[in-house]
A and B are shown apart, each in its own frame.
Chain A
Amino acid sequence: MKLHPHRHMVLVAVCAVMLIGWVCAARGEGGEPPYFAVKNARIVLVSGPVIENGTVVIAKGLIQSVGTDVAIPPEAWVIDGRGLTVYPGLIDAGTNLGLTQDDDAKKRGAGPAASGPEDRPATTPWRVAADELKTDDKRIESWRNAGFTTALTVPDGGIFPGQATVIDLAGERPGDYVVRHRATVPLSFKPVGGFFGFPDSLMGTIAYVRQVLDDTAWYTQAEPIYQANPTKTERLPYDRTEYVLSRALQNNEIVLLPANNSIQIVRALRLADEWKIRAVLYGGQQGYDVAAALAASKIPVLVNLKWPERAKDGDPEAEQTLRELRFRARAPGTPAALAKVGVKFAFYSDGLATPKDIFKSLKRATDAGLAPDAALRALTLDAADILGLSDRLGSIAPGKIANLVLTDGDIFNEKTKVKHVFVDGRWFVIHEETSPEKTGEKKPGDDDGARSRQSQHVEGVGR
C-alpha cells in the first residue's frame, strides 16, 4: 500500500477514514520516525525470562535496548504498552509469499523430456526467490497482520527449483524485504519425467540429485586446479548448475530435503549423511514415529502445519486404512514429540491459505502436548537459528532486527488481537478485521467501534 508522509495524528485519522487499508505504516518520505519506544508492556524476549513491565526501544530498524530500566531517546515516538504483550515477530519457515504461482512457474519445472542426468531436467538452482519477489501479494499483508514479520519464501517447480530467500514482510521496494537472498537450496524428489523422460521414478530422482551433487563436488575440486594451471589443464566446460551449486554449498547454504512420512525422514537422514550437505528436512509430519532418529542426527526439521486430513472430495466409501487414520490422528503430535527429544524445529504454512488456518493448526499441535513456549520458540528463535539468522532475528534483544508483535493477550489465544506490528522498525497499526463481504461496500464511519479502537492507539502515541 501507499505510505503517507503525514504526521502521525493525521495519519491515523486518514487510516480511520480509509478503512480499506487495514494497515498503516507510520513511515514515509521525511515523516517517519526512526526511533520508537514501547513502554509499560509485558515483553516476551524468548531468549530470556519474560519482563512483566518493561520497555523496548527501537532505533533505525534495530532493537536498541530492552528492559525495565531503559532510557527512552527524546526523539522516540512512544507507545504506551499497558495491557499489551510484545513478542518477537513470528517466522513462517516455508511459504511462497511474494512469488507468482502461475502456469509458467509450473512449466518451468517440467521442461522438455530429458534422457539422462546430463540434460539437467527440472533444474534451475540459479533462480533466486529475491529476484522474483512481487510485493503486491496480498498475503504479505495478511501474514503481517497476524504477527508474522519474516518468512522463508521458496521457489517452486522442479527438482532443483532455485534458491529460497528470507524476507521481512514490509518494505517499499522488493529489495527492502530481503534479509538473505540466497538462504537455502530447496530440493524436491518428485519425479518429472512422466514415463518418457528422466527421471520418472523416486529412485531415479534421488540418483539424479546424487549425480548433480557429485558433479558439483567435482567442479568445486576442479575449478581451483584449473585456475591455477590454465596452461597445463584441459579447459573446464561451463555448467550453470555446477557453478551455482558449487558456490551455494561452499557458502554452507542449507539444503532443504523433502521428508514427510517416517520412511522419507529416515531416508533423508541417510542421504544427508551420504551427501555431506548441511541438511534441514521439511514436511516432518510423521516425526512422532522417528523422533529418536531425528534427535540422533541433530538435523533440524521444518514442520508443515497443513496437517494431513481425509480428502474432502474423496470417495466416501473408500477404505480408510488404519495406517492413514493413525497418521491423521497423530501428526499434530509431532511437534510435541520432537520437542521432547530435543529436535530443533520450526513451522511452515505451505498449503494453508490464511494465517487463521496457521493458528488453528498450531492449536492442534499445542492440544497434542506441545508447550506454548516451545511453540513460540519454534515460531521465532529456533526458526531463525535453523535459517542461520539467529544473530539478527528471532528474539527481543539489543542489536536484533526490530521485528515485534504487540498483542492484547497471549498470542496463542484465539481471542487475542494483534494491535501493532513492527517490521524492520517500520510501524504498523493493525485494525479490527473487516469481513471480506463487507469490504468496499461499507461506508467510512459505519464501524464506530473500529474507529474508537484506532483512537485508542493514537492516544497511546506521543512524543
Chain B
Amino acid sequence: MNRKILCTAAILVALAPLAARAQNPGTIFIQNATVLTVTHGNIEHGSILIRDGKIAAVGSGLKAPEGASVIDATGQFVMPGIIDCHSHIAVDGSVNEAGPAVSSMANIADVLNPDDIDIYRDLAGGVTAANILHGSANPIGGQTVVIKLRWGKPASELPFEGALPGIKFALGENPKHSNFPTPPGVTPRYPGTRLGVEEVIRQAFIEAREYKKQWDGYQQRKSAGEQNLIPPRRDVRLDPLVEVLEGKRYVHAHCYRADEILMLIRVADEFGFKVRTFQHVLEGYKIADEIAASGAGGSTFSDWWAYKMEAYDAIPYNAALMAERGVIVSVNSDDAQEARQLNQEAAKSMKFGGLSANDALKLITLNPAIQLGIDSRAGSIDVGKDADLAIYNHDPLSVYAVVQKTLIDGQVYFDRQRDIAQRVTLAAEKQSLLDKEKKAAEEAKTDEKKTEENSERKPEKKPGQKKKPPQDSDGKANGNTTIASGVAGGTR
C-alpha cells in the first residue's frame, strides 16, 4: 500500500510542468560540501565550479564567481552521478523481441520513451546515466543504447553523446525460452539447449562475416568502376553484428554460469571480437582470472540469489572477488525500483568482501563508466568531465542517505525540495481534472435521459416495444441499431 502511495506521489511530482525541469546551464557553484571525487579522494568543505555543463574546477579553496548560481551544500555529500549498467527503463513497448533467436534488428534506440516515470524516479535515486538493454529472450538480442536521464527532454536528446551503441546477448536458460511453457500448437523455438545457444551465436557471426564480405566485394567492384552492379541487400539483422566484428558496437552478455561465460569468451576469440561486459555474471568469481584476461567487465547484482537454478551459486562476495582479480566490476539494478538505491547496493560490497568506501562507490560510478566507454566524460568528479552529480544529505554509502539534488550537464533535473513543494499543486490539478470529468459524465447522462424521455413522448412509441440496446463501452454500438441511428443524419 505504502508503495502504491509513493508511486502515486512520484507520478504527480514527475508530471510537473516545465517548472520541474532544469534551468539553462550557466555557471553553477556548489559550495561547502564533502566532495567524493572517486578518482582523487574526498574533499571536505569542497566546492565544484560548473561552466556550460562541465566541471570547471574542484577543490577546497574555491570562490563562487560573480553571477554564478550557488548551491549551498553545507553538511551534504556530492558524488558523481550514478551510472546503472543494466536498465530497462524508458522503453516504449516490450523490452524483448522474443520471436526470433537472433533479434538484432530490434533497436532500443527506436523506442526510447522520455516520458517514462521511471526516469524521474531513478533521478531521485541519484542515477544520471543508464545502459538501456534489450531483454534476455534471445542468444543474440536487440541493440542497446546508453542514455542520460534528461527528464523532460525528447527521446532524441536522451542518448549519451559519443557512447558506443551496444547489443544484448543472453546465455543460459532465458534464450532457451525455458522459463515459460510453449503453448500447444506452437513449435518450440530453437535453441533448446546451451549447446544450441552457442551454435546460434556462431551461426549468426558466420552469416555476418559472409554478409560483410559481400558488401566489401561490392564496394571494391564499384570503386573499380564496374557498371550496372546490383548491390547486396541490406540486412538490418546482420548490420549490427558486422559492427560488433568491426569493434563499433559493444556486446553486453547476460549470463550466470561459469561454463557459459567461458563459452562466449571462446566464441568471441574465434570471431575476433570482444565481449564488453558480462551482465549478472553471478558465477564470475569462479573464473575471474579468465574474465579479466578477456578484457571484459563484470556487471553484477549485489546479492540477488537463488531465484532460479542457474542462480544458486551466486554469492554476495562476487563483486569484491572479481574486482580483486582485476575485473572492472559494476553493480547494476536491472530494475527500475532498485535503481533508486544503487548507493546501498554498492555499500553491500563493503560488508561482503571488504571493499573500501571509494572502491564501493566505483562500482556505481567510474567502473560502469569504463564499461560503457564513457569514462572520459562521466564517472568521477574531475575537471573537464560532465557535471553529472548527485547530492546526498548523508554519506551516500549510509542507509540514511537521501538524494537532495541530481544534476546532469550542470542542470538540476531533480530537486527534493522543489519536488515536495509541487506535490500540493499537482494534487490540486489532478482533483480538478477528476471533478471536471465527473461533471461531464453526469451531464452526458442527463442528456441521454432527456433524449429517452423525448422519444417516449412520441405517439409512435408503443408500449412493450424493445428499447435500443445500450452502447458498448468503447462507444461502438451493436449492429444495425446504431447504424440506423446514424441515419438520423438530417439532424445529427
CA distance A328 to B426 in the complex (A): 16
A356 to B486, CA, bound (A): 6
Residue interface mask B461-485, A partner, CB < 8 A = 1: 1100111100101111100111111
Which residues of the other chain, B, contact A313 by a CB distance below 8 angstroms? 473
Contacting pair B490 A431 (CB below 8 A): yes
Kindly state whether residue B247 has any CB partner on chain A within 8 Å. Answer: no
Query: Among A263, A351, A359, which residue has its beta carbon within 8 angstroms of that of B492?
Result: A359
Residue pair A232, B480 in contact (C-beta under 8 Å)? no
Q: Which residues of A contact B115 (CB under 8 A)?
A: 262-263, 323
CB under 8 Å from chain B, chain A span 223-264: 225-226, 228-229, 232-234, 262-264
Known: A193-B99, A222-B230. A208 touches B461 (CB 8 A): no
> Quick one: CB contact mask for A209-227 with B, threshold 8 Å, 1 for yes?
0110011001001100110
Contacts of B426 in A (CB 8 A): 322
B61 at the binding interface (Cβ < 8 Å): no
The answer to whether B487 and A437 have CB atoms under 8 Å apart is no
Give the residue among B4, B93, B189 with the most A Cβ atoms within 10 A: B93
Taking a contact as CB atoms under 8 Å apart, the answer to whether A196 and B189 are in contact is yes
* B223 at interface by CB-CB < 8 Å: no
- 0/1 string, B420-440, CB within 8 A of A gives 1: 000000100110011011000
Q: Return the CB mask of A111-151 against B: 1 if under 8 Å, else 0.
A: 00111110000000000000000000011011111110000
- Give the shortest distance, in Å, between A351 (CB) and chain B (any CB): 7
Question: Contacts A201-B94, A221-B230, A319-B8 known; A355 to B489 CB distance under 8 Å?
Answer: yes
Report if A200 contacts B (CB, 8 A): yes
A308-360 at interface with B (beta carbon < 8 Å): 309-313, 319-323, 325-326, 328-329, 351-357, 359
Q: Are B436 and A329 in contact (CB under 8 A)?
A: yes
A210 in contact with B434 (CB, 8 Å): no
Question: Within 8 Å CB of B467, what residues of A?
Answer: 437
B-side contacts of A177, CB under 8 Å:
none
Question: Is A174 at the interface (CB under 8 A from chain B)?
Answer: no
Q: How far is the CA of A11 from the CA of B480 in the complex (A)?
A: 27
Query: Is B233 interfacial (CB-CB < 8 Å)?
Result: yes
A352 to B142, CA, bound (A): 38
Is B107 close to A, CB under 8 A?
A: yes
How far apart are the CA atoms of A235 and B483 in the complex, in Å? 53
Whether the Cβ atoms of B114 and A263 lie closer than 8 Å is yes
- Say which size band chain B's interface belongs to: 35 or more
Contacts of B390 in A (CB 8 A): none
Cβ–Cβ contact B111 & A218, under 8 A: no
**Minimal beta-carbon separation of A243 from chain B (angstroms):** 15
Pick from A221, A263, A326: contact of B92, CB below 8 A: A263
User: Hey, which chain A residues are within 8 Å of B334, CB to CB?
Assistant: none
Residues of B within 8 A of A306 (CB): 475
- C-alpha spacing A433/B488, complex, angstroms: 5
Are A436 and B236 in contact, CB atoms less than 8 angstroms apart?
A: no
Contact B233 A214 (CB under 8 A): yes
Residues of the B chain whose Cβ atoms lie less than 8 Å from the Cβ of A218: 231, 233-234
Q: How far is the CA of A393 from the CA of B480 in the complex (A)?
A: 31
Pair B480/A115 contact, Cβ less than 8 Å: no
- A232-B99 in contact given A215-B233, A436-B481 (Cβ < 8 Å): no
Q: Determine whether B12 belongs to the interface, using a CB cutoff of 8 Å to chain A.
A: yes
| B98→A201 contact, CB < 8 A | yes
A438/B100 in contact, CB under 8 A? no
> Taking the nearest CB of chain B, how far is it from the CB of A35, in angstroms?
26
Contacts of B69 in A (CB 8 A): none
Q: Contact string, A134-178, partner B, CB cutoff 8 A, digits 1/0?
A: 000011011111110000000000000000000000000000000
- Give chain A interface residues in 282-311, CB to chain B under 8 Å: 293, 306, 309-311
Contact of B460 with A438 in the complex, beta carbons under 8 Å: yes
* Chain A residues, CB < 8 A from B430: 320, 322, 325
B426 CB to nearest chain A CB (Å):
6
- Residues of B within 8 Å of A145, CB to CB, are 487, 489-490
Q: Does B2 contact A (CB under 8 A)?
A: no
Interface check A206, CB cutoff 8 A: yes
Residue B350 at the chain A interface, CB threshold 8 Å: no
Residue from the set A199, A201, A351, A430 with the largest chain B CB neighbour count within 10 Å: A201
Q: A8 → chain B, closest Cβ, in Å? A: 20
| Complex Cα gap A346–B237 (Å) | 37
Write out the residue numbers on chain B whose beta carbons fall within 8 Å of the beta carbon of A204.
97, 99, 103, 105-106, 142
- B237–A116 touching, CB < 8 Å: yes
Query: In the complex where A202-B93, A266-B156 touch, is A353 in contact with B99 (Cβ < 8 A)?
Result: no
- Whether A207 contacts B230 in the complex (CB less than 8 A), given A145-B487, A312-B473, A353-B477, comes out as no
A414 to B451, CA, bound (A): 14
Report how far A229 CA is from B229 CA in the complex, Å.
Answer: 10
Least Cβ–Cβ distance between A262 and chain B, in angstroms: 8
Question: Which among B107, B155, B460, B486 is the interface contact of A266 at CB below 8 angstroms?
Answer: B155
Complex: how many Å from CA A307 to CA B196? 49
| Neighbouring A residues of B230 by C-beta, 8 Å | 221-222, 225-226, 233-234
Q: Is the CB of A196 within 8 A of B490?
A: no
| CB of A448 closer than 8 Å to a CB of B | no
Residues of A within 8 A of B (CB-CB), count? 93
The contact of A320 among B111, B233, B434, by CB within 8 Å, is B434
Is B481 a contact partner of A198 (Cβ separation < 8 A)? no
Q: From known contacts A222-B230, A437-B455, infer whether A201 and B437 are also in contact, taking CB-CB under 8 Å.
A: no
Q: Output the least CB separation between B155 and chain A (Å).
A: 6
Instruction: Given A263-B114, A436-B481, verify A356-B488 contact (CB < 8 Å).
Output: yes
- Cβ–Cβ contact B106 & A142, under 8 A: no
Residue numbers in A under 8 Å from B437 (CB-CB): 310, 325, 328-329
State A120–B147 Cα separation when bound (angstroms).
32
CB proximity of B110 to chain A, nearest CB, Å = 5
Report the Cα distance A197→B137, complex, angstroms.
12
Complex interface residues of chain B between 290 and 347 (CB less than 8 A to chain A): none
A103 partner residues in chain B, CB cutoff 8 A: none
From known contacts A117-B236, A203-B111, A430-B490, infer whether A138 and B92 are also in contact, taking CB-CB under 8 Å.
no
A435 within 8 A of B: yes
Is B24 engaged at the interface, CB distance under 8 Å to the other chain? no
Please judge, given known A-B contacts A312-B473, A437-B466, whether A354 and B99 are in contact too, CB under 8 Å: no
Cα(A348)–Cα(B354), bound, Å: 65
Tell me the complex Cα distance, A188–B96, Å. Answer: 19
Smallest Cβ distance from A421 to chain B, in angstroms?
A: 9
Bound-state Cα–Cα, A321 to B492, Å? 34
How far, in whole Å, are A21 and B386 apart by their CA atoms in the complex? Answer: 73
A80 CB–B CB distance under 8 Å? no
Interface centre among B99, B437, B483, B484 (most CB of A within 10 A): B99
Q: Does B383 contact A (CB under 8 A)?
A: no
- Report the separation of the CA atoms of residues A233 and B186 in the bound assembly, to the nearest whole angstrom: 40
Asked if A323 and B15 make an inter-chain contact with CB atoms under 8 angstroms apart, the answer reads yes
A326 in contact with B489 (CB, 8 Å): no
B393 is an interface residue with CB less than 8 A from chain A: no
A229 → B minimal CB distance (Å): 5
A439 at interface (Cβ–Cβ under 8 A)? Answer: yes
CB–CB A201/B486 < 8 A? no
> In the bound complex, do residue A266 and residue B154 qualify as a contact, i.e. CB atoms below 8 Å apart?
yes
Q: List 17 A-B contacts (CB under 8 A).
A: A138-B487, A199-B99, A200-B97, A201-B97, A204-B97, A210-B105, A218-B234, A229-B228, A263-B113, A267-B111, A271-B110, A310-B437, A353-B483, A354-B486, A418-B489, A436-B480, A436-B481
Residues of B within 8 A of A (CB): 4, 8, 11-12, 15, 91-100, 103, 105-108, 110-111, 113-115, 134, 142, 154-156, 182-183, 186-187, 189, 228-231, 233-237, 426, 429-430, 433-434, 436-437, 455, 458, 460-462, 465-468, 471, 473-477, 480-492
Q: Which residues of A contact B (CB under 8 A)?
A: 22, 113-117, 138-139, 141-147, 191, 193, 195-204, 206-208, 210-211, 214-215, 218, 221-222, 225-226, 228-229, 232-234, 262-264, 266-267, 270-271, 293, 306, 309-313, 319-323, 325-326, 328-329, 351-357, 359, 414-418, 430-439, 441-442, 446
- Enumerate the 8 nearest inter-chain pairs by beta-carbon distance, A residue then B residue, closest first: A145-B489, A202-B93, A354-B486, A198-B99, A142-B486, A204-B97, A436-B484, A312-B473
